[in-house]
Amino acid sequence: MALILHVETSAKNCSVALSQDGRLVFNKVDTAGSSHSVQLGLFVDEALNVAKGLGQKLDAVAVSSGPGSYTGLRIGVSLVKGVCYALGIPLIAVPTLDLLADEVRRTNDLPSDALICPLVDARRMEVYTALYNADGTLLQPVSAVIVDEKTFEEELKNKLVWFVGDGAEKCSTIIRSENAIFDGQIVPLAQSILPLAEKRYQEQKFEDVAYFEPFYLKDFVATVSKKLRIPAAPVK
C-alpha cells in the first residue's frame, strides 16, 4: 500500500483526497463551481500538511483524467504534474467515466446483467459517455453523444441501466423507460479515485509526467461574447 494524493477537477466540484494504505485520511470538496484555480492549490497544501503530520512522504499522485471540463482538467493536471516533478514521484491517471462506473458498483447491489452508463455533462443535450457491465468491464468506448428519445433505446430494452453523473438529471427528462435508473448524486470526486488508483499503483501503471495530457475527447473551442464583439465596419 502507499500514501497517495488524489485530485479531481473534471466537473463542477473541486476535490482533493489523501489515502494511506487504502484508507481515506483527508478529504476536501468545494461545490461552488468555477473556483478550481483558487481552491485546488489550497486543498493540496492542506493534504500535504496532513501527509507531513503522518511522517510519511507521498508515494504517488492520482488524477481524474477526463473527459470533462477543458479548463478544470487543465488546472488539475497542471498542478499534479508540478507535484510529481517537485517530489520525484509517479503520476497515476484514472479515466473519469471509469471512476463513476466503479462508484456505482461499490455503492449499489447491481443485478449481474445490469449496465452502467456514466454521463458527464457537455452542455446543451450533449454528454460524454461510455457503457460498462456490472463487473466494470468497458463494453462501449467513450464518446460524445447528443441525447434524444431514442438514445440508449437498445440497451434499455431488456436490461436495467444505471445512468449516473452530472448529465443524468437532464437526460432523465428525455429518456423514458422503466429500465432506466438515474442517479445524479454520483459525480466525480477525489475520494472515488482511491480504489482504482490503489490498483494502478500496485500494478505500477504510471504515466509519463512530461508528456501526459488530459483526455479532452473534443477540441476546446473558444467563444466570444456578443457584447465584446467589434461591430463590423459599414459597407460603403
pLDDT band at 30 (very low <50, low <70, confident <90, very high): very high
Instruction: Read off the pLDDT of residues 166-176 as tens digits, 9 standing for 90 and up.
Output: 999 999 999 99
Q: Is residue 163 part of a domain?
A: yes
Do 90 and 102 fall within a single domain?
Answer: no
Q: Are residues 112 and 165 in the same domain?
A: yes
**CATH number of the domain within which 27 lies:** 3.30.420.40
Residues 28 and 83 in one domain: yes
- The CA distance from 69 to 78, in Å, is 14
Note whether 103 and 58 are same-domain residues: no
Residue 86 inside a domain? The answer is: yes
Residue 51 has pLDDT above 70, yes or no: yes
Residue 229: its pLDDT value, please?
A: 47
Looking at the structure, tell me whether residues 78 and 113 fall in a common domain: no
Tell whether the model's pLDDT for residue 19 goes beyond 50: yes
Q: Are 59 and 116 found together in one domain?
A: no
In sequence order, which ranges of 59-138 are alpha helices (DSSP H)?
70-87, 96-107
> How large is the angle between the packed helices 36-53 and 70-87, nearest 10 degrees?
30
Average pLDDT value for residue range 36-65? 95
Which helix or strand (DSSP H or E) is residue 202 part of? helix 190-202
**Pair 10, 89 in one domain:** yes
Same domain for 193 and 91? yes
Mean pLDDT, all residues of the chain: 91
**Looking at the structure, do residues 77 and 87 belong to the same domain, yes or no?**
yes
Judgement on whether residues 194 and 88 belong to the same structural domain of the protein: yes
Domain that holds residue 167: 97-183
> What is the tally of structural domains in the chain?
2
Residue 230, classed as helix, strand or coil, is coil
Span 9-36, mean pLDDT?
Answer: 93
Average pLDDT over residues 64-69: 96
Asked whether residue 63 falls in the same domain as residue 133, the answer is no
Does the pLDDT at position 222 exceed 60?
no
Q: What's the average model confidence in pLDDT over 187-205?
A: 97
pLDDT in tens, 98-154: 999 999 999 999 999 999 999 999 988 899 999 999 999 999 999 999 999 999 999
Neighbours of 233 (CB within 10 A): 6
> What integer pLDDT is reported at residue 151 of this predicted model?
94
